[in-house]
Amino acid sequence: MQPVLDIHGLKVLFRVGNTYIRAVEGVDITVGEGESVAIVGESGCGKSVTGLACMKLLAQQNAVYTAKKMTLQTKDGHVHDLLSESENGMLALRAEQIAMIFQDPSTFLNPVMTVGEQMDEVFLYHPGAVTQEDGKAAHKLSRDEAKRLSLEQFRRVGIPDPEMRYKQFPHELSGGLKQRILIAMATACKPRLLIADEPTTALDVTIQAQILDLITTLRRESGMSLLMITHDLGVVRAVAERCYVMYCGKIVEHGYVRDILEHPLHPYTKALIDTVPGLDDRVERFVQIPHNVPHPSQKPSGCFFSNRCAFCTGICQSAMPPLREPVPGRQTRCWFDKEELWEK
Amino acid sequence: MKRYYAQKLISAVFVLFIIITLNFFLPRMMFDDPAQPYYAGVPEDAYALRQEIREANGFNDPLIVQYGAYLGRLFTLNFGTSYIYKEPVFQVMFSRIPWSLVITLTSMVVSVIVGILIGAYVGKRREMTADKVLLGFSTVTTAIPSFWLALVSIMLLAFIIPIFPYRGAMTPGYTLGFHTIPFLVVFLLFIAAAIALRIILRKSIFLFTVIPAGLLVALLVAVPPADVLDVLYHAALPLIVVIFGSCISYSLLVRNSMIAVTSEDYILTARAKGLPPRVVLYKHTFRNALLPLITNVGMSLSGLIGGSVLIEKIFSWPGMGQLLLEATNNGDYLLSQAILLLFAILTITFNLITDLVYHKFDPRVTRA
Amino acid sequence: MKAKRLLCLLLAALMLAGSCLLFAGCGREEKYAGALVIGSSTLPKNLNPYSSTSSTFFVDLFYDTLLGAAATPVGYTADPENFRFPDGSTFTPVDTSNNPLAFTDNLLSYEGALPRPDGSDYGYVYFDPTEEQWEEQCERESIREGFDEVGLPIEETHEEFLARAEETVPRENWMEFRFAVRPGYTWNDGTPFTAEDIKFTFDYIIRHKAELSSQAYFLTDYYQSSVEEDGDFVFILASNNYSAMKSICNSIVILPQHIWQTVRKPQEEKNLNPVGTGPYYLKAEDYIADSSITVTIRDDYNEALLREDFAGEPVANISVQLMSNLDVLIQSLQQGDIHMIMDTIDTTKAYQVMNNSAYSNIDMSSTRNDFVTTLLFNVGPYGAFREGELNGYSQQIREAISLCIDQQSLISEVLFGMGTTVGDGLVQSYMAHALVDENGNYVEHHTDVAAANALLDTTTYLKDADGYRGLTFTVLASPEQETLVRAIGNQLAAIGIRLEYEMATSTYAEDIKQYNHADFDMILNSVTFGADKLLMFSARYGTYNTGSPRVFNYSGVIDEELNELMLQMERTANTQQQYELSREVQARIAELAVEIPLFSQNMITFYSDSVFSGWIETEGSSIWNGYTLRYLKVN
């Protein structure tokens, strides 16, 4: 079956002065219809960039994309080649077919416009996504119609008292509410794919649960696929079916969430899981991964994780391991298999 | 929000009150004899006459009575008689204000508009050449003193290539004819239309655009066209000099603001919503980028009346700045005191207006 | 894209050029074509001849003085042999054996205009203080304890004055003058001019003496006036001060009674419709505040200007236009848009312009100013140079300083010097005796440092190892004269004298304090030299014939002989005699004070001869003066 999002070999380079920084080095990601996929990794591993690259939202002056393939299947079944799509084409695709929500709702909403106005915009500029009473797509919406739709959308995402909220400004709302509004804006046209870039990182844990719940509900209602980008394994477990682990711009592990979390194949994944303290444990010291994530311009030779890996050997330092599939349905970028690793 | 307005209003009124009181005490601080400004022309030894003047102007009354009388005079706009003009001070000032406004208001409007256009162009494109050109011009205009530029422009454009005149507001011998009745009729019509539009269409934007437009049209109707052309002809060179400097600085401001705002996160959201670039630019970027410009313009509004002393002196333009200069040079205390009071009041008023209006543009300010 | 951008730029440039060309054609018809245009950086706001903020330029255009046009002297009584009118005429004395005191019934007792007892030296026209006021004045002017401002012990003066003010003692000195009014003479609004107007003017001034103090000053000795049946005007001066007469005839502008009798506050009168006897008048529409004032010539201009010999086309309109910037004025003159600059030009700018060949069509008039900057010694009761001080060598030291100062080098060092040769508006210093020699030439000054040193070596102040004689003096001068003081100090170093600069304050009251405290040794001040003027401000040398209480005596010289000479000068109207007396006065002052005239700032004005001619230079004024007014015509 044709996946909704199909990316092969995506590379993203940023031009800084005379050199290039490799933010993403050859990433393969697929998201199927109705599927929920997560990309996990620490800050700076290139996961946000991957998300932005899918929407082609990176600044055109500095960013260079290349990929062997990057396609999106729209609601009508047509497959668009995102690489060669023009900006005008992208305008039509964004919000209607592929949408994105972001990390900190405070800075991602325009402070001088009311949230209602910002919500209206989505409808006003994507009238084609709105089905009218006669079943046909609209050509142009009036302000009142847009308002009606916005209020409806607010209700859908669970915003209480939408009429009052409609007139308010972002700084008058709480974090959870703002994130709901961002979600409302993103899902207004019922896109095929929603990319969520760490949507809960800036929120309280209880609100976090609400938001994740909302996303799940919306997904169920409309069959929307989800690409969740996060560093929080708890979120991954709650929301995703499949998971990609990224490190330094490369995918280091891939598989079903259940499998990965119970039986990680890559040392990095294991280390990530180990660093999360359980609520029951009483530990003297937290588990840490030694050293820091390398700067994109200073990646080590050989395996990127070599300088921090507990199981590092000579071969790890000299050559980058390929993405292997030791077990069907699971991929890992390590020279060694799990049993070999865990024995050491 | 009403509290916000009320707070601002009250504090402005308070500051105004303090300034008015300070102004009352000013002659007492400057001179031993606070009636000194009223003695103008009367020699020191004419004691009896001086006593008469003191008595007539109430300087022998108790201080509180004097203060009360002073406040009363302020409200009736009685600032005394000017020593050099032999006319009531208010009349002298009032006749000069429109001339000042011709230069300052026009130049401010034009330079803001041109500044926004240039700044937006440069800020949007982020091209190296456009950037460098703007920054180069900006350095030049900041470094060059305006009076030097004025003199050079007179030399080039009024003497060497005699396109423009170099003195005065009108050709010598002509005065500005003004027909009051047509002016009032047209202006009132426009005001009525503005109010009607406001009520019918429920948007206050009409008030702010139609009324100034109406003022302009009424002025054009009331003043004979030959006079209008004459004034424009004479104002051309001073306007060029003033606009050149200020529009570059506004452009720089807008350009910097644009660059800052374009890298903000909400622009990304707007793009992610699939909004056309023009919409992103005007509705999202501009609305935020122009905020510092509004503050800046609001601050410079108080310089509308008396701000361009040097330009007025060089071009012999009969504005308020030159009036203040003359009053100070000739020891006309009453006139200079009144002008300074006017400046203070205008500054406070415009600051207040800016504060109040700014709220409409940036809703975040109520928090602060 | 690039092409579109270029096109836009091109379009913008074209629009700019187009609008510029449009502006070129926007100029209006000159309203005053053919007028004599004078550029000025200030324009008077009122045309009141008695207001301090008016302009003498315009007063000359609109008004005349008593002798200007209105009246001719007919007769006088007092001192027939020596008296001459300002225009040099003499007339047969009219028998006036009637004693003015017969008019006692008509004695107009204006406060202060009292008949002066013989020998009374206090002509306070408007100052008749009570005791408190006197004390207040003394306090304010910080009179030194025991002495008043003219250097007399206080108690004596005070009582004497008050006593004198109350007496009416028969006078011996008075003068009566009779003037005949020109027949058929009119004001510029057509009303006939009569002697009533003259009498009205005099009475008006006296009535408003508090406000019109400078004019009232001239009428200090004014006793009364009347209009005779035959239309003559007669007035009496209660003194024998002929120089007052000169001032009265030449300075008091005659006002029309029918206009000014309703003016209650002369200082507040704007007078924008001046009705005068002058050659020009002002139409209401030609007064544009802060822009231009244009006057039109009267139809009877020749009569108005008393010029029967005038041949040529008179100047029909004179337009004074406001141009606030001097550079713009000069450029405008060079271009021919204006014909004269009313402002005086400072020497630096004049020097630049005159040496620039691009401005060769600008003519320059450089006339010697009345005032000469002079270095004066404080020989007063508290100054360092008074008699007996400085080990008794005060006189020698003064002479030595006088010998040492080299004017020429001072001028080139300190001033750019519009006059680079002696006599070009500069007054030479002199040694001790006469200002001018028999031929009326200025005496050459010879700097002789050796002689100065030799003179000082005869005193007890000898040079020590550093060459310093232990003499340090303070010079009181205004801030802009600091360089000059330092330059003089450099020169005096050659004879071992050190000079220190002290800044004179800028307010009048402070000046009084400074001068009366006499804490300085020398002063740089402006004095008038000239045989036809009363030398200097007489009060400075302690004479009593002051007309104003606003006098200060910073040198505090009280010398009977000097007083006598100066009184004589006042009492003669004979110019030749005044001239001779002035030389004696100068000599006497030199003995007492030894002052060193340094330089006079010339009055430099720019004008152009290309369209209008008849510009006449006179000493002490710009190219615009009464004579120019009389002879100005179109080329």
- pLDDT by residue (tens digit) across A139-176? 778 888 889 999 999 998 989 999 999 999 998 899 88
Of the residues C243, C260, C277, the one at which a domain ends: C260
Q: What is the 3-state secondary structure (H, E, C) of chain B?
A: CHHHHHHHHHHHHHHHHHHHHHHHHHHHHHCCCCCHHHHCCCCCCCHHHHHHHHHHCCCCCCHHHHHHHHHHHHHCCCCCECCCCCCEHHHHHHHHHHHHHHHHHHHHHHHHHHHHHHHHHHHHHCCHHHHHHHHHHHHHHHHCCHHHHHHHHHHHHHHHCCCCCCCCCCCCCCCCCCCHHHHHHHHHHHHHHHHHHHHHHCCCHHHHHHHHHHHHHHHHHHCCHHHHHHHHHHHHHHHHHHHHHHHHHHHHHHHHHHHHHHCCHHHHHHHHCCCCHHHHHHHHHHHHHCHHHHHHHHHHHCHHHHCCHHHHHHHCCCCHHHHHHHHHHCCCHHHHHHHHHHHHHHHHHHHHHHHHHHHHHCHHHHCC
**Partner chains of A (3+ C-beta pairs under 8 Å):** B
Task: Please check whether residue A17 touches B, CB under 8 A.
Answer: no
Residues 6+ apart with CB under 8 A from B192: none
Are C391 and C536 part of one and the same domain? yes
Higher-confidence residue of C547 and C24: namely C24
Query: In DSSP terms, which residues pair with A73 in a beta bridge?
Result: A79
Mean pLDDT is lowest, of B132-146, C35-49, C183-197, C299-313, for: C299-313
Q: Which of C29, C269, C294 sits opposite B86 (nearest CB)?
A: C269
Instruction: Return mean pLDDT, chain C.
Output: 70
Query: In DSSP terms, which residues pair with A11 in a beta bridge?
Result: A25, A66
Of the residues C260, C294, C314, the one at which a domain ends: C260
User: How sure is the predictor about C148, in pLDDT bands with cuts at 50, 70 and 90?
Assistant: very low
Of the residues B31, B51, B84, the best mutation for testing chain C's interface (the one with the most C CB atoms within 10 Å of its CB) is B84
Q: If you count residue pairs, one on B and one on C, with CB atoms under 8 Å apart, how many are there?
A: 135
Query: H/E element holding C532?
Result: none
| Domain presence at residue C342 | yes
**Is A112 close to B287, i.e. CB distance below 8 A?**
yes
Task: Please check whether residue A182 touches B, CB under 8 A.
Answer: yes
Are C487 and C581 part of one and the same domain? yes
Q: How many domains does chain C have?
A: 3
At C106 the pLDDT is 25
User: How sure is the predictor about C118, in pLDDT bands with cuts at 50, 70 and 90?
Assistant: very low
Annotate B97-127 with b (16+ C-beta within 10 A) or e (fewer): bbbbebbbebbbeebbebbbebbbbbbbeee
Are C213 and C122 part of one and the same domain? yes
Q: What percent of chain C has pLDDT over 70?
A: 58
User: How sure is the predictor about C91, in pLDDT bands with cuts at 50, 70 and 90?
Assistant: very low
CA C63 from chain centre, in angstroms, equals 19
Average pLDDT, integer, range C17-37: 77
At C563 the pLDDT is 67
Average pLDDT, integer, range C462-469: 88
Are C296 and C381 part of one and the same domain? no
Q: What percent of chain C has pLDDT over 90?
A: 7
| Domains parsed from chain B with CATH numbers | 2-30+77-178+223-367 (1.10.3720.10)
Task: Please check whether residue B326 touches C, CB under 8 A.
Answer: yes
Are C437 and C577 part of one and the same domain? yes
Q: In this predicted model, what pLDDT tens digit does every residue of B83-142 receive, in sequence order?
A: 888 889 999 998 888 889 889 988 999 999 999 988 888 887 777 888 888 899 899 988
Average pLDDT, integer, range C441-465: 80
At C76 the pLDDT is 62
Q: Within 13 A of C589's CA, how many CA atoms are on the CB side?
A: 31
Look at residues C110, C55, C75, C65 and name the one whose alpha carbon lies nearest to residue C215.
Answer: C65
How far is B153 from chain C, CA to nearest CA, in Å? Answer: 12
CA max distance for chain A = 68
| The dihedral sign for the CA sequence B236, B240, B246, B248 | positive
Task: Please check whether residue B144 touches C, CB under 8 A.
Answer: no
At A100 the pLDDT is 92
Mean pLDDT is lowest, of A59-68, A216-225, B316-325, C135-144, for: C135-144
Reduced to 3 states (helix: H, G, I; strand: E, B; else coil), residue A119 is helix
> Distance between CA B301 and CA C550 in Å, rounded?
48
C339 has pLDDT over 90: yes
Look at residues A165, A173, A111, A118 and name the one whose alpha carbon lies nearest to residue B365.
Answer: A111
How far is C25 from chain B, CA to nearest CA, in Å? Answer: 8
Query: H/E element holding A26?
Result: strand A19-31
Query: H/E element holding C375?
Result: strand C371-377
At B222 the pLDDT is 87
| Domain presence at residue C383 | yes
A318 has pLDDT over 90: no
> Distance between CA C420 and CA C409 in Å, rounded?
10
Q: In this predicted model, what pLDDT tens digit does every residue of C494-546 receive, in sequence order?
A: 899 999 988 876 544 455 455 555 567 887 776 665 444 444 433 333 333 33
Higher-confidence residue of C302 and C375: namely C375
At C68 the pLDDT is 65
At A184 the pLDDT is 92
| Domain presence at residue C4 | no
Give the phi and the psi of residue C185 in degrees, each rounded to 5.
Answer: -85, 135
| Domain presence at residue C162 | no
Which stretches of chain B drop beneath a pLDDT of 50?
Answer: 368
Find the closest chain A residue to B271 by CA distance. A57
At C543 the pLDDT is 30
> Distance between CA C24 and CA B99 in Å, rounded?
22
For residue B127, list chain C residues with Cβ-Cβ distance below 8 A: none
Average pLDDT, integer, range A314-334: 82
At C415 the pLDDT is 57
Average pLDDT, integer, range C370-387: 72
Q: Which of A112, A126, A186 sits opposite B361 (nearest CB)?
A: A112
At A179 the pLDDT is 92
Look at residues C116, C107, C99, C232 and name the one whose alpha carbon lies nearest to residue C178.
Answer: C232
Are the C-beta atoms of residues B83 and B336 closer than 8 Å to each other? no
Give the phi and the psi of residue A12 in degrees, each rounded to 5.
Answer: -125, 125
**Is A185 close to B126, i.e. CB distance below 8 A?**
no
Instruction: Return mean pLDDT, chain B.
Output: 86
Average pLDDT, integer, range C203-223: 76
Higher-confidence residue of C306 and C148: namely C306
For residue C309, what is the domain's CATH number? 3.40.190.10
How far is C7 from chain B, CA to nearest CA, in Å? Answer: 16
Reduced to 3 states (helix: H, G, I; strand: E, B; else coil), residue C513 is helix
Higher-confidence residue of A85 and B111: namely B111
Reduced to 3 states (helix: H, G, I; strand: E, B; else coil), residue C553 is coil
User: How sure is the predictor about C557, in pLDDT bands with cuts at 50, 70 and 90?
Assistant: low
At B14 the pLDDT is 94
Instruction: Return mean pLDDT, chain A.
Output: 85
> Distance between CA B67 and CA B70 in Å, rounded?
5
Task: Please check whether residue B131 touches A, CB under 8 A.
Answer: no
Touch C-A: 3+ C-beta pairs under 8 A: no
Q: In this predicted model, what pLDDT tens digit does every residue of A91-112 receive, in sequence order?
A: 888 888 899 999 888 899 999 9
Task: Please check whether residue A109 touches B, CB under 8 A.
Answer: yes
Q: Which of B269, B274, B361 sits opposite A108 (nearest CB)?
A: B269
| Domain presence at residue C275 | no
Are the C-beta atoms of residues C302 and C308 closer than 8 Å to each other? yes
For residue A58, list chain B residues with Cβ-Cβ distance below 8 A: none
**Is B270 close to A110, i.e. CB distance below 8 A?**
yes
Are C323 and C209 part of one and the same domain? no
Are C493 and C563 part of one and the same domain? yes
Task: Please check whether residue A112 touches B, CB under 8 A.
Answer: yes
C443 has pLDDT over 60: no
Average pLDDT, integer, range C458-476: 88
For residue A104, list chain B residues with Cβ-Cβ distance below 8 A: 265
Mean pLDDT is lowest, of A197-201, B36-40, C40-44, C604-608, for: B36-40
| Domain presence at residue C437 | yes
| Domain presence at residue C363 | no
For residue A106, the tally of other CB atoms under 10 A from its CB is: 16
At A285 the pLDDT is 72
A74 has pLDDT over 70: yes
How far is C283 from chain B, CA to nearest CA, in Å? Answer: 11
Are C296 and C430 part of one and the same domain? no
> Distance between CA C365 and CA C322 in Å, rounded?
21
For residue C224, what is the domain's CATH number? 3.90.76.10
- Helix residue spans in C40-130 (DSSP H): 56-62
**Is B172 close to C288, i.e. CB distance below 8 A?**
yes
Are C414 and C520 part of one and the same domain? yes
Are the C-beta atoms of residues C360 and C67 closer than 8 Å to each other? no
Are C429 and C390 part of one and the same domain? yes
Find the closest chain B residue to C294 by CA distance. B173
Question: Which residue segment(s) compose the domain that C83 sits in?
Answer: 64-129+170-260
A228 has pLDDT over 90: yes
User: How sure is the predictor about A303, in pLDDT bands with cuts at 50, 70 and 90?
Assistant: confident
Are C297 and C379 part of one and the same domain? no
Are the C-beta atoms of residues C321 and B169 closer than 8 Å to each other? no
| Domain presence at residue C514 | yes
**Is B364 close to A111, i.e. CB distance below 8 A?**
yes
C607 has pLDDT over 70: yes
Are C583 and C530 part of one and the same domain? yes
At C244 the pLDDT is 67
Give the phi and the psi of residue A177 in degrees, each rounded to 5.
Answer: -65, -40
At C430 the pLDDT is 34
The winner for highest mean pLDDT among A271-275, C411-415, C605-609 is C605-609
